[in-house]
Structure 1
């Protein structure tokens, strides 16, 4: 039908073009090769006139054909009609069909947000749920949209969409499945990623099992097909909890929660998964105990032999020590590329070990409480923060250890080279740490040292600072990270959990509209050959940026909502809308973890870790004291300066200066 319309339009276009043909200079008159000696002058002149007339007629036909083609493809372009009909039309239709918020509806133990959405009617099929919306048909408004020939009609329906805003734990678990019995995967991932804020694993499992037992007996409320699908969906949710969040069940030596689930569940698949996970935990505990005994015996032998070498007994790269550490290393002689790559290896390994749900319970003063109790192990988020601070402290220490100003300037240039290399490796964690160290007050105030720094290095530092510095607005940094998310998402296989979670939780992070600094972008831009196969892009984000987002969400939204706004003593419901926003951030962290596996070409060097660990670091007071030794603090008021000299307390002479 479309091609019939196009054909009729072309016929109409060719018939209405009555303007005279135009001769273009690019079309030259064909040369007629004649044997002039065998023709008389009169006959030759007549032949030339006839040839010229026929050539002009041919050119007229050719020009008319060219003009018709140009007219059809430019003035009334076929491609333009196709694009307008099938691209802009769909875009406008999608805008019309966006859900429109109407109101909130308060039911028993739950609060819903109600939307209205207009959809095209399709043949009735088994519906599948891939979002956290539970739909209910409100009314069906048939609407005829006739085309130019009036032969097509489209049917539309208006549906009411219920989105869970708040509810009890029982209500949240109930909405793991929709009215057709299908599992709502987004709702499941949000629940499993954020439930630790308001409940524990045992209560969650008991609630899911209670829902499972309530559906087991047949009832008139749901058909047998829906009942079987609901039971299967709940079992699938439990298996997902056991596989994707198995660290929640690691409770040695008795594994109470896992054993409880194994006894209470009646589903065979869930039982097999529980038993498999329990056996795995027991084997890992046995191997860990055996390795610990071997390590203890080895330490005793080494102590008796007065050998100070240390052996690796764990796979945690954060606690690893190098072997080759006999030869001291000169920082200026080390390659800036090697240092950036080794820092990237450490950051990538730590990022892969991060448990995203620990970001929700992370608080600013949690490290102080953990340091007081040495028996309490550091969380995975704390380890990334410790590594970040370790890089900052070592950058400051290496600069302040050098006494010569020019050599100190060369060290600063070296760290700028390392930061620039981290930018190329997309290691934004170490990049931000190096910038924070270079822009710290005790380093940034050394004007004499900075005067020896090459102007090109200072220019690069300013460009990096404007994007990734602590004083920057972070809009460009967020735009870069969002663009990396899009590129990573495109390279993931369709069936990966990370891509599923990102697609469901962060669909709005698709378009990056923030422009990046032009000069800096040109320096880092690399030309990609055409038809190049897409590969995974290794990226290590600055985790503090996402921790700040989670902090803002936590501050802006309450954990609980009163079912009656006017009565503060009314029933409190879990604010599931808040956890939906938190899940959007956690899904991005999960995707960056999958991208951290792309650093396959980088190999760790044994000596670097030992050199890094053995760099002497200073406290804040010691750093400021060294900084003032190099360039004493000048005070315009002589009375204050005399008071500073008379007072030996470090509170006056070690006060930080603003950069």
Structure 2
């Protein structure tokens, strides 16, 4: 078999077929047939058994490209037979962009209790149990359970539904218990939801008893931040990341949309706030003492990198690149040269060059994420990913990504591709592409189970009670610490395309509208160089467009 034969792709797009309410892409799939011995080889006594020639046969596959909702649901029970193996997981991951669980059940359950329907229900209950969370009655789960009891009580899908129903009952009983305990103590009942990492009650002791955040070792800080980030990232509902959901967050009626993603954003900003306040909070520090704080945060960032926690890594770097800290030229000059070099190297991970290409390649290589089982469309990397990076077979190490990279891809897809195509059919090709990115998020979430870190209540107490400064407060303090002066040659030289704050990237106008006043603690999105005075701008170590983060939202 020649090199040209080996290089031929096993899949080839042939054309399209249109039916009433559906459009299919036709794929020709070359499948290797059983080897047949060459006749001349059989007659040649001296020939070896390794003399067969290879035969192929061509199979026709139909992939649903666009359809009405009834045809999309109907394809759930036909896709595997037709060779569209990536369809069911793609549909279950993205259908809430154009339907709700009740509508899908209305169309799916009447198709009968056959094996395909039971398989779809099993995958749905197993991989998307949140779709059946509708307290207090959980009507869709009750309806599904009733269907399974009547049709296939011994099926795996029925066992999953019963387990989910029991867990909801247990959650309700636990909630009643907590509410009763809180009422007995004169407090407010606590509700279910995301892991209590952001804004949790850290304790009732005096602030003087709270340990300083940087009194903990480098390893302890990095590991505790990683544990907190992992808890929140695993709680992210991938559907909340879809562009059609996340891009609507700024509308007044959508103030509570995508809470699982907002919690991750809040944690990112909390880390950034702690870094800025810890560096600027004590006006009595001398330059070497403040430089030591920078060095410790860079060491923590390096440890986060070793733990593959790209969320806190990005947050720490964003704080160190903020206007108020970046401009401290004399302080940076006192930082050890090797540490400054490590800072520059870490910053390159989140360079915007080629759409965050460096960060994407690291996630693919170290996180080991792979495409879905659909070998045609789903094997393509997202926008900006290197085509040279090969998908690995499994997640090889626990990894917490910077979620903004995936949110960027999903918003770009939502903007670039229409929701409907000709004849007002739902564009499922768009959903397949989105499903690939959601699949990568899910794989990384699964990898986080491999973190074996123990929570430190003292650290969380220090973290949640740490001083916070608004952007204006931090910049004023920065000018007190180092009034505008001539450029210092040892201040860090950063690339033009360094990262921005997660809040400015992801919260957009919402974050700007919520910017706190100087008298109110908090962190607002860091602005562009326009926030610098003309005197200070002239003293920055490089030009505003090359050295400072800019506020650009997507």
TM-score (norm 2): 0.75
Partner of 2:478: 627
Cα separation, partners in 2 of 1:615 and 1:501, compared to 1, 3 Å = farther
By how many angstroms is 1:348 displaced? Answer: 0.9
Flag the 1:153–1:615 CA change in 2: closer, same or farther, 3 A: closer
Indicate if the aligned counterparts of 1:479 and 1:512 stay in contact, CA closer than 8 A.
Answer: no
Residue in structure 2 matching 1:481, options 347, 363, 383: 363
> 1:476–1:536: structure 2 CA closer, same or farther, 3 Å change rule?
closer
Instruction: Report Cα offsets for 1:9-51 as digits up to 9, x if no partner.
Output: xxxxxxxxxxxxxxxxxxxxxxxxxxxxxxxxxxxxxxxxxxx
Consecutive unaligned residues of structure 1, counting only runs of 5 or more, are: 1-84, 124-141, 217-230, 304-309, 490-498, 516-533, 563-570, 636-648
Structure 1 residue 98 displacement after superposition? 2.5
CA contact (8 A) 2:364 2:389 kept: no
**Does residue 95 of structure 2 align to residue 195 of structure 1?**
yes
User: Is this contact kept in 2: 1:350–1:383, CA < 8 A?
Assistant: yes
- Structure 1 distance, partners of 2:54, 2:332, is 71
Take 2:377 and 2:528, find their aligned partners in 1: how far apart are those partners?
51
* Distance in 2 between residues matched to 1:312 and 1:271, nearest whole Å: 28
Is 2:340 aligned against 1:450?
Answer: no
What displacement does 1:457 show? 1.0
For residue 278 of structure 1, report the CA deviation from its aligned partner.
2.8
Q: Which residue, out of 167, 170, 185, partners 1:280?
A: 167
Matches within 5 A, 1:239-638: 239-263=122-146, 266-269=150-153, 273-299=160-186, 316-319=195-198, 320-322=200-202, 327-360=209-242, 361-363=244-246, 366=249, 369=252, 376=256, 379-403=259-283, 404=285, 405-469=287-351, 474-486=356-368, 507=379, 513=388, 537-562=397-422, 571-600=423-452, 602-633=453-484
Q: Is the 8 A contact 1:183 1:233 kept in 2?
A: no
Distance across 2 between alignment mates of 1:575 and 1:537: 35
State the distance in 2 between where 1:203 and 1:314 align: 25
Count of aligned residue pairs for this structure pair: 475
Question: How far is 1:427 from its partner?
Answer: 0.7
- The 1:355–1:384 alpha-carbon spacing in structure 2 relative to 1, beyond 3 Å, is same
Q: How does 1:222-233 map to 2 (within 5 A)?
A: 231-233=114-116
Is contact 2:308–2:399 with CA below 8 Å preserved after alignment?
yes
The answer to whether the 8 Å contact 1:426/1:539 transfers is yes
Q: In structure 2, how many angstroms separate the alpha carbons of the residues matched to 1:272 and 1:323?
A: 41
> Matched residues in 2 for 1:365 and 1:538: separation?
31
Cα gap change, 1:634/1:584 in structure 2, threshold over 3 Å: closer, same or farther? same
Q: How far 1:248 moved relative to its partner?
A: 1.2
Counterpart-to-counterpart distance in 1, 2:92 and 2:395: 30
**Secondary structure, counterpart of 1:539 in structure 2:** coil
More deviation, 232-241/412-421: 232-241
Counterparts of 1:118 and 1:653 in 2: how far apart (Å)?
Answer: 57
Distance in 2 between residues matched to 1:145 and 1:156, nearest whole Å: 18
Mark the runs of 5 or more structure 2 residues left unpaired by the alignment: 487-516, 519-526, 538-543, 549-554
- Alpha-carbon offset, residue 333 of structure 1: 3.5
Find the aligned partners of 1:653 and 1:94 in 2 and give their Cα distance. 55
- CA displacement 1:383-438 (0-9 Å, x = unmatched): 11110111111111111213233322111111101001111111111001111111
Q: Which has the bigger relative contact order, CA under 8 A and spacing at least 6?
A: 2
SS in 2 for 1:318: coil
Offset of residue 470 of structure 1: 5.8
Residues 146 and 612 from structure 1, CA distance in 2 versus in 1: closer, same or farther, beyond 3 angstroms? farther
CA change 1:259–1:610 in 2 (3 A) is: same
Aligned partners of 2:313 and 2:431: how far apart in 1?
31
Q: Report deviation, 1:506.
A: 5.7
Runs in 1 of length 4+ with deviation above 6 angstroms? Answer: 142-148, 310-315, 499-505, 509-512, 649-654
Question: What do residues 575-616 of structure 1 show as CA deviations (whole Å, max 9, x unaligned)?
Answer: 11111111111111111111111111x211111001011111
Cα distance in 2 between the residues matched to 1:437 and 1:146? 73
**CA distance in structure 2 between the aligned counterparts of 1:558 and 1:351, rounded to whole angstroms:** 29
Distance in structure 2 (CA, Å) of the matches to 1:172 and 1:377: 26
- Contact map agreement 2:84 2:374 (CA 8 A) in 1: no
Q: Is the aligned partner of 1:109 residue 2:9?
A: no
- Contact kept? 2:213, 2:466, Cα under 8 Å: no
Superposition deviation, residue 239 in structure 1:
2.4
Larger radius of gyration: 1
Contact kept, 8 Å, 1:394 with 1:616, in 2: the verdict is yes
Q: How far apart are the structure 1 equivalents of 2:20 and 2:374?
A: 32
Q: Kindly indicate whether the alpha-carbon contact (under 8 Å) linking 1:485 and 1:588 is maintained by their aligned counterparts in 2.
A: no
d(CA) in 1 for partners of 2:458 and 2:74? 55
